[in-house]
Structure 1
Amino acid sequence: MRVVVIGGTGHIGTFLVPRLVRAGHEVISLSRGTRAPYADAPEWQQVRHVAADRQQEDAAGTFGSRVAGLRPDAVVDLVCFTPDAAAALVGHLRGATGHLLHCGTMWRYGPSHRVPITEADGTPPVGEYGILKDRIARMLKQETASGGLTTTSLHPGHIVGPGWQPIGPLGNLDPGVWAALSAGHPLRIPGTGAELMHHVHADDVAQAFERALERRDAAAGEDFNVVAPSALNVRGYAHAVAGWFGRTAKLEPVTWQEFRGSTTAEFAGMSWDHLHRSQCLSIDKARTLLGYAPRYEPEDALLESVRWLVAHDRLRVAVPLAV
């Protein structure tokens, strides 16, 4: 097939594009062209690159026609964030393209009431990002159900991979958390430490997209959770990280009010966004219909990311990794 990957050099595309080339597809990577993939691979030499600014072209009403003009058999959209953008793309692909695959998010679900969360029983989303992504997924599902374009939505957890800092043990991007755990210093944690985060390696997300392309009939009109086989809570995550440096985590539970007073508003807000949802998702549907088989447990994916960051002087830690 000729497959257009929108956002092809991002977190997921870095791994998906080489997978598709290895599978024998003709791949066109559509991106702003301002950065290279996070990891190099020889397959990129066989990829056609097309520069496009999605935001500007959506505003001008030209993006959908540009994608359709590439005459793809399938389109993987990794960077769609509004229902209007999704609807415009669908309108141009309907009747001309065989399959549209959309990258959603686990935040299409709200705070957990029951875990693991299946595609059928999550609570309503909270926050603009999750609300808009949920609307896109529902619109795409209805599009296919009504006899229009064949679509599939895949909803990853917190994406991890070499080249960028993952969501950390406190549900934020504070580099001081890694420094404290690597030094064996006390770490203040908001709440009880039982709050869940569900990560997934970017290559496992790429695998799910590849499987959905291969199994178009099974994936048609469906949405799928795409996460690691298990989830970590704050305590388990912090203890795992400390252990990588030969330390034992010293955790000090505090109230959210106390926590907000000890960090920046940005980090506190990010922690709340991740931890109050306390999400763990089921992948039974993706396993059954797509044959999804994630290779990485969350600890393995996170360690790979941290190892890369330390090796490239992108993360300051007190002592070298002990593993």
Structure 2
Amino acid sequence: MRVAVVGATGNLGTAVLKRLQSAQEISSVLGIARRLPDADAAPYSGAEWLSADIQFEESRAALAEAFAEVDSVIHLAWLIQPNTERDLLRRVNVEGTRHVLEAAEKAGVAHIAVASSVGAYSPVADDRPRSEDWPTEGIPTSHYSVDKAAQERILDEFSRAHPQIALARLRPGLIFQGSAGAEIQRYFAGRWAPVQVLSSFRPPVLPLPQGMRVQAVHADDVAEAFLRAVVRRAHGAFNICADDLLTGQLIAETIGRGRSIGVPGSALRPLLRAAHRAGVVPMDEGWLDMAHRVPVMDSSRAARELEWTPHRTAAQALEELVLGMAAGEGTGSAPLRPRSAHPAHADQLPWPENRLPERVDALLLRQYMADHLAGATAGLDRISMMAESFEDTPIYPQVSAVAETIRSEHAFLQELMKRQGFPRPSLSAALTWTGEKLGRLKPNARGPFGRSPLRMVLEAELMIAAVTGKMHGWKTMEQHAEALGVAPAVFQELAEAAQQQRETLDEVHSYAAERAFRRDEETFEPQRQS
């Protein structure tokens, strides 16, 4: 069987990709994502890849062509953040599902499996297990739940219109695995959460929402369920969860030292709302509402029809996630990137405390590299903000790809300086960072709260200049590669990568400049592609 996986680089997508590649029933896998992963890293190296942004209607043609020789489509793509951008989330999650289904039908695909969620279910006030026939109207105060319920309506409509296509919808609980640790921290706890301490310290007391009980499942177990659904051409809904229920007590035993204090939701909800509005915590209060009100799922149908049983308990999945968060674990994809970037060419860095030869002016070389690192730090911040600001535009995948490459190169330069025994840049880095931040204050918005098309043009021009300077920096370091203990070819490859980044940014600039000064072209129009 040939299977296409839409959303193959996220938490669940990575697990599904890995499981499909190890299954003898699967002959080949096509991975589809907005941002392509490191195709040389496992498990992404075992798949073919296509970049497609399913929020746009135009994606249907490319998807239909890609699905032409596919036996089954697994649709997993779902955008969780930024949860303040409701239009964007709706386009990707709900309309994106519609586009994938329409493309699969046009291509003549006979089977589709879609990731729904426990979050799609209507609220309950007890712990009585519910089967798949419980209503899926969602939790009104949770944007995630509302969109999952809307996705269910899309699936209902599609099934009625195309009864000849077997459509399976899997509704898992919270999906945990160690390699998603850094991603889940970014999406829910935020970068300021001191999760690193959990590797060596467990809190004696955990304050947790009173009455909290959630169902979770390991990503590998969900991936097994999807494989079985595909192989068996399953149709209908399936609850997917571990057998144990994560109560406050069990969470305290898993994460802490076994003691929890129940915090009333009436007290916790406004605190979480305030922290979210202040930008301290990415997770909003809707997730708390969902944790309190979704039903406990009965997964006996999956056991009966798919012969599926979880191999890990919810507590074991949570424990693995906590250790992954503490270590900042990740993979070679943008959604699952680790907390600390893996340095480019890490295997070709010199031994620690590499000593420069006498003929090299160490002081000047250190200052030169420190200045470039300061500029690289500001550039990384700028390109990351660009990717975040323009996530709803067709040029987002290109900007995001440049950001990921720059992040890896930044880590390389940091590690290279560390191994030379060079001090970290202080004043110059601070001044460059401050100047970059002040540059953002320029009032170029169209209206007091809008985004100006001019901003995209200027940001692209600034990044082109920064990448050009970086490219010459790598060429200069190449001339001193031997002294730095690095093969010249490494700096040559870094310079070539900078040139590719510049070409990509030129394309971004052309897209923005073509539209920024015209009244008949919308730079941020979501339904247009260049």
TM-score, structure 2 normalization: 0.50
Rounded to whole Å, the distance in 2 between the matches of 1:19 and 1:187 is 35
- CA distance in 2 between counterparts of 1:255 and 1:63 reads 45
For residues 139-218 of structure 1, the aligned pairs below 5 Å read: 139-146=154-161, 147-165=163-181, 173=189, 175=193, 182-191=201-210, 194-216=211-233
* Counterpart code for 1:305: L
Cα deviation for residue 94 of structure 1 reads: 1.8
Match of 1:321 in 2: none
Q: Partners of 1:162 and 1:125 in 2: how far apart?
A: 28
Partner residue, 1:137: 152
Aligned residue number for residue 253 of structure 1: 262
Task: Tell me which amino acid in the other structure corresponds to 1:300.
Answer: Q
Equivalent residue for 2:115? 103
- Identity of matched residues, %: 25
Q: Provide the rounded CA distance (Å) in 1 between the counterparts of 2:209 and 2:104.
A: 46
**Amino acid across the alignment from 1:13:** G
* Unmatched 5+ stretches in structure 1: 316-323
Q: Give the aligned partner of residue 265 of structure 1.
A: 275
With 223-232 and 114-123 compared, the bigger mean Cα shift is at: 114-123
SS of equivalent residue, structure 2 residue 5: strand
Asked whether the 8 Å contact 2:216–2:314 carries over to 1, the reply is: yes
C-alpha contact 1:166 1:302 (8 A) present in aligned 2: no
- Aligned pair in 2 of structure 1 residues 99, 124: CA closer, same or farther (>3 Å)? same
How many Å apart are 1:185 and its aligned residue? 4.3
Q: Does 1:119 align with 2:121?
A: no
Structure 2 segments unaligned to the other structure (5+ residues): 79-91, 330-337, 340-530
Q: How far apart are 1:273 and its partner, in Å?
A: 2.7
Give the counterpart letter for 2:19 in structure 1: R
Is the contact made by 2:118 and 2:173 (CA closer than 8 Å) also made in structure 1? yes
**Secondary structure in structure 2 of the residue aligned to 1:275:** helix
Question: What is aligned with 2:22?
Answer: 22
Which 10-residue stretch deviates more, 130-139 or 19-28? 130-139
More strand by share: 1
1:93 — aligned with what? 104
Q: Single out whichever of 107-116 and 294-303 deviates more from structure 2.
A: 107-116
CA distance in 2 between partners of 1:260 and 1:50 (Å): 41
Structure-2 separation of matches of 1:125 and 1:137: 10
Q: 1:292 aligns with which of 302, 305, 308?
A: 308
The answer (yes or no) to whether the contact 2:254–2:319 under 8 Å persists in 1 is: no
- CA offset digits 1:136-156 (Å, max 9, x no partner): 224324533452432111111
Q: Greater relative contact order (Cα 8 A, min sep 6): structure 1 or 2? A: 1
Query: 1:188: Cα distance to partner?
Result: 2.9
1:13 aligned to 2:16? Answer: no
Q: Which amino acid aligns with 1:236?
A: L
> SS at the partner of 1:224?
strand
Whole-angstrom distance in 1 between the partners of 2:195 and 2:295: 21
Q: Deviations over 1:33-89 (max 9, x none)?
A: 35459xx64x5433111122233xx2xx22122111011221111015544333333
Distance 1:311 1:177, change over 3 A: closer
Aligned counterpart, 2:466? none
Q: SS at the partner of 1:137?
A: helix
Kindly provide the amino acid, as one letter, of the partner of residue 208 in structure 2.
I
1:227: which partner in 2? 241
Cα displacement (A) at 1:117: 2.0
Alpha carbons of structure 1 residues 141 and 190: separation in structure 2 relative to 1, 3 Å: closer
The code of the aligned residue for 2:123 comes to P
Determine helix, strand or coil for the equivalent of 1:151.
Answer: strand
Corresponding residue SS for 2:180: coil
Distance 1:3 1:183 in 2: 42
SS at match of 1:27: strand
Per-residue Cα deviation, 1:274-306 (whole angstroms, up to 9, x for no partner): 432254211111111111111110111111222
Conservation of the 8 A alpha-carbon contact between 2:250 and 2:258: no
Q: TM-score of the superposition, structure 1-length normalised? A: 0.79
Superposition pairs of residues 53-92 of structure 1, within 5 angstroms: 53-55=53-55, 58=56, 61-70=57-66, 71=68, 72-79=70-77, 82-92=93-103
Could you say if the C-alpha distance between residues 177 and 91 of structure 1 is closer, same or farther in structure 2, counting changes exceeding 3 Å?
closer
| Cα shift at 1:106 | 0.8
CA RMSD in angstroms, aligned pairs only: 3.2
Seen in structure 2, the aligned counterparts of structure 1 residues 178 and 252 have a Cα distance that, compared at 3 Å, is farther
Of structures 1 and 2, the larger Rg is shown by 2
Separation of aligned partners in 2, 1:83 and 1:148: 22
The Cα shift of 1:20 comes to 1.5
Contact 2:254/2:318 (<8 A) preserved: no
The question of 1:240 aligning with 2:254 is answered: yes
Amino acid across the alignment from 2:59: F
CA shift digits 1:117-163 (9 cap, x unpaired): 21112573113332332232243245334524321111111110112
Number of residue pairs aligned between Structure 1 and Structure 2: 296
2-side partners of 1:92 and 1:262: how far apart? Answer: 43
Kindly indicate whether the alpha-carbon contact (under 8 Å) linking 1:7 and 1:29 is maintained by their aligned counterparts in 2: yes
**Take 1:275 and 1:90, find their aligned partners in 2: how far apart are those partners?**
29
> Would the aligned equivalents of 1:116 and 1:282 in 2 still touch at CA under 8 Å?
yes
Could you say what secondary structure the match of 1:75 adopts? strand
CA distance in structure 2 between the aligned counterparts of 1:308 and 1:34, rounded to whole angstroms: 23
Shift of 1:13: 1.6
Query: Which residue of structure 2 aligns with residue 319 of structure 1?
Result: none
Task: Check 1:160–1:36 CA distance in 2 against 1; reply closer, same or farther (3 A cut).
Answer: farther
- 1:178, 1:274 → 2: CA distance? 27
- Residue 320 of structure 1 corresponds to none
1:46–1:288 Cα change, 3 Å: same
The answer to whether the 8 A contact 2:249-2:258 is kept is no
SS in structure 1 of the partner of residue 207 of structure 2: strand
